Amino acid sequence: MEKEKLPAILTAADIAGYLKISRRRVYEFLLLEPEQGGIRHAKFGASKRIERSDFIDWVENQKTGGKSK
């Protein structure tokens, strides 16, 4: 799936499927602060959701060796 075709709001399962990694690993990224390499997200009770633009930014940031823009 292309990045632009991802849903506007992503779940851990969406990200795991896109990256071909486990949901557990996605949750590990969600536990980290963005400054430490974590994915920026919003919490709704126990649920966490990620905006597509934040996810795409995070992926791009990972390709540059984790340096912030």
Per-residue model confidence (pLDDT) at position 65 = 60
Mean pLDDT over residues 46-60, rounded?
95
pLDDT of residue 2: 82
48 near 10, Cβ under 8 Å?
Answer: no
Q: How many domains does the chain have?
A: 1
Structural domain including 49 reads 3-63
**Residues 49 and 39 sit within 8 Å (Cβ to Cβ):** no
Would you say residue 68 lies in a domain?
no
When the pLDDT of each residue in the chain is averaged and rounded to a whole number, the result is 91
With respect to residue 31, please indicate whether it lies within any of the assigned structural domains. Answer: yes
pLDDT at 14 over 80: yes
Q: What is the pLDDT of residues 19-45, one digit of tens each?
A: 999 999 999 999 999 999 999 999 999
Does some domain include residue 54?
A: yes
Let me know if residue 69 belongs to a domain.
Answer: no
Record the pTM.
0.84
